[in-house]
Amino acid sequence: MKKITFDFSKKTALVTGGAQGFGLDIAKRFLKSGARVIIWDIDSKMLAKAEKDISNPNLSSNTIDVSNYEEVEKCINAITEKTNIDILINNAGITGPTASLWEYDIKMWKKVVDINLMGTFNCCRTIVPNMIKNNYGRIVNVASVAGKDGNANASAYSVGKAGIIGLTKSLGKELADKNIAVNTITPAGAKTRILDQMTKEHVQRMLSKVPRGRFLEVEEFTSLVCWLSSEENTFSTAAVFDISGGRSTY
């Protein structure tokens, strides 16, 4: 697939869940496009591996639990003392266990919602003031078709992702009078390690719903993220961008 060239020189991007999967691919593409990139992840070993493998002086990382507001705020304050954050990619998330709602472990249900939804809120709440001060920002929140359709036996994940869609629409409208765009992407299943958190039956059920008959490729997802994060995106905000191979058409 031919990749479109974007110019992110003089831009600083923060990518959560950036040590693997979607997040890592986004970070690599941003770096190739000239950006300074900060990746966050809760897995310190994966972060160290990512930094070693990429070996780029414009890449830095922090071990962060995005569901912990105080931790997020402290790190953002330290970053914005030195540089602005021009681009925020809220990608950190977990699927949680596969179980019917009435049998779902209560602590795990809360954990999934805290990471997926509250993590997105925490990052937006702490970073947006810096974007307002500079009258520039691009925020891309990673939701899921599960947030649109609701996946059986994945109520926590579906709720968390649905919440991200609502948050995006609200925040995008709040910032619409500024040069700050806030959008969300709703991918179908993709070939990433997140599939390892699901049962084979659940994965097959997801695939059966996609008219394209295959999973999303990571590079396809990254291309959409790049456009939404670029200066070329001057009008789209508070919007939901589907990339589900025809599964969701609304």
pLDDT tens digits along 73-132: 999 999 999 999 999 999 999 999 999 999 999 999 999 999 999 999 999 999 999 999
pLDDT of 198 over the 80 cut: no
| Structural domains for the chain | 12-242 (3.40.50.720)
- Phi and psi, residue 63, nearest 5°: -85, 110
Q: Which of 69, 104, 136, 157 is catalytic?
A: 157
For residue 246, name the pLDDT band (cuts at 50, 70, 90): confident
Contacts 24+ apart (CB under 8 A), 146-154: 147/186, 148/186, 148/240, 148/242, 148/248, 148/250, 149/247, 149/248, 151/206, 152/205, 153/98, 153/99, 153/100, 153/202, 154/95, 154/96, 154/98, 154/202
CA-to-CA distance for 87 and 26, rounded, in angstroms? Answer: 12
Give the residue-averaged pLDDT of 222-228: 97
Give the predicted TM-score (pTM) of the model. 0.93
104 is catalytic: no
Calculate the CA dihedral of residues 26, 152, 160, 48 and round it to 10 degrees.
-40
Instruction: Give pLDDT, residue 214.
Output: 82
Dihedral, CA atoms, 131, 160, 239, 22, nearest 10 degrees? 70
CA atoms within 13 A on the CB side of 224: 20
pLDDT for 80: 98
